[in-house]
Amino acid sequence: MAVSEYIDNIKGTCSTLFDGLAVTLSYMFHAPVTFQYPDRMPQPLQDTLPARYRGHLYVDLDQCISCLLCEKACPIECIKIEDVRIEKIMITDVDGRPTPKVKEPTLFNINMYKCMYCGLCTDPCPTGAIRFTKEFEGATTNIQQLHFRFVTQGRREMAVALGAEQERKAAEKKAAHAAAAPAAVPAPAAPAAAAPTAPPPSPLPPAADSGPAASPAAN
Amino acid sequence: MKPLLDSLIARFGITDPGLTLGVYATGMVVFCAIVLMGFVAPAAGIISFIERRIAARMQSRVGPNRVGPQGVIQWVADGLKCLLKEDLIPTEADHLLFRIAPYLVFIGMFGAFVVIPFGSSLVIADLDVGLFYLLGITSLVSVGLIMAGWASNNKWSLLGGMRAAAQIVSYEIPAGLSLLTVILFAGTMSVQGVIRSQGWAPHTWLMFQNPFLFASYFIFFTAALAEGNRTPFDIPEAESELVAGYNTEYSGMRFALFFLAEWANLYIIGAVSAAVFMGGWQLPPGVPDAVRPVAELLLFLGKSSIGVFLAIWVRWTFPRLRVDQMMEVCWKYLIPISFANVVGTAVWMVFLPKGQLPASAASFVMVALAAFLVVLFVRRVRMNLRESDMPIHLNPFV
């Protein structure tokens, strides 16, 4: 090793040590960039997340038309829906468009602990009722707390009552129809397949009953 | 202390003068050990906390801030946790050596405190061979480290122990030669003697007496870092290479002892460089006698914290050296330069005798040069701060 190289090495060492120490010292006077999650945040972390963040799923039952598209789309079948037929009402979807609603869910459960946050349920939803929230803090000591039951007991009772009301009305209408129309009208074969969620008595004979009951759904 | 020992002597009816002296000596040793332990353990803990906070700020983090206000008693929690942990000894380990090793490390570190002068009268023993003793007793640490590495019966531990041995043996030489420069200039090996040969003002500090002593300070500091296994010379416990090196198999109390020794060693680095190169406890004249001992203690602690901060700062700035690079730094650079320093100081003392005008003028020039370096450095830091767009936060607490 030449003497000049040796001295250059020493000089290089001293100057780089000098620079390096200056850099770290200046960083010591900078404000830390740490977010002290969760308890010392300037604002809740959920508020700082991007708009399309995929957190827990949420269902707005007032917008849900119980079309079951989300249930069918879910690749791991973590959504479970049961519903009743109600009188047709008009609701507004997330985009403000009027949408008819003829079914009301009596059960809308999502197993959030099975959910893989793929978003396939939110895509087909025609009204935007099922959507992601920015909530992601799912840690819990009881896994059942992650089994979201969106239909509360009160709402369920209300829906069941509405459903019973609608059934009664349908029966009345049917009776009126039956009284007005001659008994010889043949029943079409399609209705049973067209309305699987229709009240159970429909597929049953006599044929005179099932024809008119299915006709509103076919229309 | 003396009445207690007297009562002990009376109680056991000791009349033999030699035995009486022995009781006094033992009593004093035990007393000093307890007082010192009461200083060392908290000091090591507090330094560990300060180091973590400084490290955090240098990395734009916050650091431990949950235990107590601003996390100031984090070190107590850590220590207690270690004490309560299970003390595991691997079945295949050499049980006796495995148990002894941490104590050897601890003794090596603790023994060094015997000659650390906290004040003109606050020193356990002002040995005539103080600096020599210091070099000797700290080498005991390397014995402990090899023992820990060997007894663990673990390849990582053994490699760590071997590296520690190689490193400490190599770096003893530049450290010893740098202290030899000081001994040459001060004319004594006693630590108190070295401090008394300096004054309170910077231009009387040994560090600024001549360029060779100035270089000696940095070489001593580097070598001490290496002996204390501190980054950038922490290859014996290199996490990315050796899991944790010699202390891989240790847990609980014994693990805590290793770490106590490490941080106490950090204080020793600061204390020795303050005592030997920066005038130790030397106070300006005019300080009233009543407050002198306390003022001396505070001054010494303040000066040693410079070295401690420097070591922490260096640790969180530079990456770890490779084994061969570390040996190269020692044998190719530090040792030849320390030899040059010894010879240079000797020649300097012949041509510029102490106490005469040229030598005093030279020390003033050295102080001015050092001040110039500091100013350059501060400007550099300010430039870095200006160029960055991050907000500045001078308050150490977040």
The reply to whether residue B62 touches residue A18, judged by beta carbons under 8 angstroms, is no
Higher-pLDDT residue of B173, B8: B173
Q: How far apart are CA B105 and CA B92, in angstroms?
A: 22
- Type of residue numbered A42: P
Please tell me the least confidently modeled range out of A155-169, A175-189, B122-136, B157-171.
Answer: A175-189
Whether residue B384 and residue A18 make contact (CB cut-off 8 A), yes or no, is no
- A96-100, B158-162, B358-362: range with lowest mean pLDDT: B358-362
Residue among A9, A10, A26 minimizing CB distance to B381: A26
What does each C-alpha distance from A53 to A50, A71, A134 come to in angstroms? 5, 21, 6
For chain B, say whether A37 makes contact (Cβ under 8 Å): no
B264: which residues sit within 8 A by CB, 6+ positions away? B40, B43, B44, B109, B110, B113
Contacts of B178 (CB under 8 A, 6+ apart): B216, B217, B219, B220, B223, B338, B341
Q: Are A120 and A73 in contact (CB under 8 A)?
A: yes
Which residue among A10, A19, A34 places its CB closest to the CB of B333? Answer: A10
Say whether B60 and A34 touch across the interface (CB within 8 A): yes
Task: Return the pLDDT at A192.
Answer: 45
Q: What distances in angstroms separate CA B218 from CA A216, B44, B113, B169, B338, one per listed residue?
A: 95, 23, 22, 19, 10
Q: Contact A30/B333, CB-based, under 8 Å?
A: no
Residues of A in contact with B317 (CB under 8 A): 20-21, 23-24
State the residue for tokens 């009596």.
A106
Q: What per-residue confidence (pLDDT) applies to A213?
A: 40
Radius of gyration of chain A measured on its C-alpha atoms: 31
Residue contacts between A and B (CB atoms, under 8 Å): 72
Q: Nearest-CA neighbor of B226 among B281, B170, B159, B282?
A: B170
Q: Is A40 on the interface with B (CB under 8 A)?
A: no
Contact list in A for residue B394 (CB cut-off 8 A) is: 29
Q: Is A34 on the interface with B (CB under 8 A)?
A: yes
Helix (H, G, I), strand (E, B) or coil at B280: coil
> Which of B59, B380, B392 is opposite residue A22, by nearest beta carbon?
B380
Helices (H) and strands (E) in chain B, counts: 14, 0
Question: Could you tell me the maximum CA-CA distance found in chain B, to the nearest angstrom?
Answer: 77
What is the C-alpha to C-alpha distance for residues A42 and B327, in angstroms, rounded to an integer?
49
| Statement: the pTM of the whole predicted model exceeds 0.80 | no
The two tokens of residue B120 are 């003109």
Block means of pLDDT (10 residues each) for chain A, 219 residues, are 86 89 88 82 84 90 90 91 89 87 91 90 90 88 90 91 89 87 55 45 41 39
Distance CA B388, CA B398 (A): 20
Chain A residues lying within 8 Å of B380, measured CB to CB: 18-19, 22
The C-alpha of B318 sits at a distance from chain A's nearest C-alpha, in angstroms, of: 7
Min Cα distance A123 → chain B (Å) is: 40
Give the mutation candidate from B314, B381, B387 for the A interface (greatest A CB count, under 10 A): B381
Tokens (6 digits) for B294: 């306390």
Q: At residue B261, does pLDDT exceed 80?
A: yes
- Rounded distance, CA B336 to CA B340, Å? 6
Element (H, E) at A79: strand A79-92
Cross-chain Cβ contact B393/A9 below 8 Å: no
Site of tokens 């003793």: B133
Q: Do A21 and B398 touch (CB under 8 A)?
A: no
* Partners of A84 in the β-ladder: A104
| Tens of pLDDT, residues B44-93 | 888 888 888 888 888 888 888 888 888 888 888 988 888 898 888 888 88
Q: What is the predicted pLDDT for the residue at B88?
A: 84
Nearest to A32 among B60, B381, B388 (CB): B60
Q: Are B316 and A24 an interchain contact pair (Cβ–Cβ within 8 Å)? A: yes
* B318 touches A: beta carbon within 8 Å: yes
Alpha-carbon distance B129 to B123, whole Å? 14
Contact A22 B381 (CB under 8 A): yes
Integer Cα distance of B295 and A149 in angstroms: 70
* CB-nearest partner of B381 from A13, A25, A33: A25
Please compute the mean of the pLDDT values over residues B18-45 and round it to a whole number: 82
Min Cα separation B106/chain A (Å):
31
Per-residue pLDDT tens digits for B94-121: 888 888 888 888 888 888 888 888 888 7
Q: Which residue of B has its CA nearest to A16?
A: B318
Consecutive H or E run containing B310: helix B292-315
Nearest CA of chain A to the CA of B58: how many Å?
Answer: 4
User: What's the pLDDT band for B220 if we cut at 50, 70, 90?
Assistant: very high
Question: What pLDDT sits at residue A139?
Answer: 87
Return d(Cα B54, Cα A194) in angstroms, integer.
72
Write out the DSSP string of B155-217.
HHHHHHHHHHHHHHHHHHHHHHHHHHHHHHHHS---HHHHHHTS-SSGGGSGGGTSHHHHHHH
Q: For chain B, how big is the Rg over CA atoms in Å? A: 23
B304 conformational bin, left if phi > 0, alpha if psi -120 to 50, beta if neither:
alpha
Omega before residue B284 within 30° of 0, cis = no
pLDDT above 80 (res B2): no
How far is it, in rounded angstroms, from Cα A208 to Cα A175?
10
CA torsion through residues A151, A152, A153, A157, sign: negative
Using an 8 Å CB-CB cutoff, list chain A residues near B384: 22-23, 26
CB-CB under 8 Å, A18 with B58: no
Give the whole-angstrom CA distance, residue B234 versus residue B146: 15
- The ipTM is 0.79
DSSP B46-69: HHHHHHHHHHHHHTT---S-SSSG
Cis peptide before A98 (omega within 30 of 0): no
